[in-house]
Amino acid sequence: MMMWYNCRANIEATRLSMKTWLQSNKMLNYLMARPKATYPDPNGKHSNAIGTPATPAVISHQTDLIRDFIDDYCSEIWFPEFLD
């Protein structure tokens, strides 16, 4: 799906096998760096770490963002299988 839509994904930090697979296939450009809001000190130094910790607050926030995106753009999603 990332290749189809030419987009980047924010994966869970524990999904190391996915990161390893993308790295071995020269596709790391499809992964986002960790969002600043997920660091313990948002104003502190940041790294280029990939993956967001799966805390309850982060999971809830991401679920809300996905729901809002689907509500706003469902008419433009051509393949319902992507929503599944």
Say whether pLDDT at 47 is over 80. Answer: no
CA distance 71 to 38: 25
Looking at the predicted structure, is the pLDDT value of residue 22 above 80? yes
Confidence of residue 30 (pLDDT cuts 50, 70, 90): very high
Confidence check: pLDDT of 60 > 70: yes
Taking the whole predicted model, whether its pTM rises above 0.85 is answered as no
Q: Is pLDDT above 70 for 83?
A: no
The pLDDT of residue 79: 77
pLDDT for res 72: 92
CA-to-CA dists, residue 23 to 1, 29, 32, angstroms: 17, 9, 13
